[in-house]
């Protein structure tokens, strides 16, 4: 493999890692803001999400150039195709995160302390674990480690789903005390974005598993 080709792949990977880390950083700030309903912290979380669309577009353009110049095959082709799809999943995770921030900023005061501490905070922590796992997956080229991290990701994403269901039940119990039913649905919609970020993390992990280990894209064994 040509050195310039290898370097371009490494550069693409590094840029993807940086985007994943930015999303992780934003969600970490959300966790801190959620625990105290601190709107300053929540708004500050958006700083890590600036220019995400232009950043992912830049990566996609680099991927297209690699495809055009080098016509990669086999494992390299799997990796390039996966990168191309991963940027879209990360962009969606960034969008989910931004929407989550806006929802919490508007409605966190409507949530009781028990709901926040027992459900919302653990769910966000689980989402953070999923994001941290995909950062680790992006940084390794070892197939065994990739598989182990993917298995960990499956558990984390499932945990986030379970916590959202419990959180939803808790919020529903408060519904009679929420004056505006539209506000009630918006609260649930906002909280669901944390679960959606975990879903996007699993999508990224599945693509990385395909790239590093093989199999069929989108098929979880």
44/48 Cα distance (integer angstroms):
8
Distance, CA of 36 to CA of 116 (rounded, Å): 9
In a domain, 100, yes or no: yes
**Block mean pLDDT (10 aa), the chain, length 221:** 78 97 96 88 91 96 92 87 96 96 84 81 96 97 95 97 88 66 76 94 96 69 41
Please answer whether residues 202 and 154 qualify as being in contact, where contact means their C-beta atoms are separated by less than 8 angstroms.
yes
Q: What is the pLDDT of residue 142?
A: 94
**Considering the domain boundaries, does residue 93 fall inside one?**
yes
> What is the pLDDT at residue 163?
93
Q: How high is the pLDDT of residue 122?
A: 94
Q: Give the C-alpha separation, 173 to 149, whole Å.
A: 36
Return contacts of 74-79, CB within 8 angstroms, 24+ apart: 75/211, 75/214, 76/1, 76/9, 78/210, 78/211, 78/214, 79/9, 79/211, 79/212
Which pLDDT score is estimated for 48? 93
Residues 6 or more apart whose Cβ sits within 8 Å of residue 96:
193, 196, 197, 200
Residue 147 domain flag: yes
Q: What is the pLDDT of residue 221?
A: 41
Q: How many domains does the chain have?
A: 1
In a domain, 36, yes or no: yes
CATH of the domain at 167: 1.20.58.220
Stated pTM of the model: 0.91
In-domain check, residue 221:
no
Q: Compute how many other C-beta atoms are within 10 angstroms of the C-beta atom of residue 68.
A: 8
Q: Is residue 50 part of a domain?
A: yes
In a domain, 20, yes or no: yes
Domain range enclosing 27: 3-213
220 found inside a domain: no
């Amino acid at each position: 493999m040509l050195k310039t080709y290898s370097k371009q792949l490494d550069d693409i990977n590094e840029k993807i890692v940086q985007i994943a880390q930015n999303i992780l950083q934003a969600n970490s700030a959300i966790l801190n803001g959620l625990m105290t309903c601190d709107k300053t912290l929540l708004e500050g979380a958006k700083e890590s999400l600036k220019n995400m669309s232009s950043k992912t577009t830049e990566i996609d353009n680099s991927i297209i150039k690699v495809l055009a110049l080098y016509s990669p095959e086999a494992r390299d082709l799997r990796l390039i195709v996966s990168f191309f799809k991963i940027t879209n999943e990360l962009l969606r995770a960034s969008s989910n995160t931004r929407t989550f921030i806006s929802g919490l900023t508007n409605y966190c005061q409507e949530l009781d302390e028990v709901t926040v501490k027992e459900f919302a905070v653990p769910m966000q922590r689980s989402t953070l674990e999923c994001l941290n796992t995909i950062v680790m997956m992006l940084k390794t080229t070892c197939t065994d480690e990739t598989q182990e991290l993917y298995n960990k990701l499956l558990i984390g994403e499932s945990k986030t789903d379970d916590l959202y269901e419990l959180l939803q039940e808790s919020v529903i119990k408060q519904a009679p005390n929420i004056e505006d039913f539209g506000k009630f649905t918006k609260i649930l919609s906002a909280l669901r974005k944390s679960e959606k970020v975990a879903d996007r993390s699993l999508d990224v992990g599945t693509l990385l598993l395909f790239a590093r280990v093989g199999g069929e894209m989108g098929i979880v064994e």
